[in-house]
Amino acid sequence: MGRNINARTVSVALYVLWGLLHMGLGTSMVIGDLSDGAPADEVAAESLLYFIAVTVLGAQAIYVALTLNRVASPVGFWLNTVVLGVVDVAFFVLLVVPGHVDLFGGIAGPVVWLAATGFAAVALRK
């Protein structure tokens, strides 16, 4: 007897994956940036701030997925759709397109977000 996995479950799993990817990257970069102490210049401080924000947004994605997307909440749908979408579009346009981040590494987050959002939209319709 097989288990039927629904769109809501898939969307939650994908949003959690998005969050874990971003928290993992953000945390490792924050630790690396702080390993030599406080940032010495503005560019280093801005980089540190960016990775702190990435870590927090990853945590937010997981929290919203587990509390709101899990029950197919429209508020959860719009929070993860808009907030994560703005982050991923800006990341892609500002870092991937100019070549600061390689295409393969840069496309993973947006692809996971897009799939999660698609499944969350299907879950809302049911």
What pLDDT, in 10s, does the model give residues 38-59?
999 999 999 999 999 999 999 9
3-state secondary structure 77-119: HHHHHHHHHHHHHHHHHHHHCCCCCCHHHHHHHHHHHHHHHHH
The confidence score (pLDDT) of residue 77 equals 97
Find out whether 120 and 77 touch, Cβ atoms under 8 Å. Answer: yes
**3-7, 37-41, 92-96, range with the lowest pLDDT:** 3-7
The confidence score (pLDDT) of residue 5 equals 77
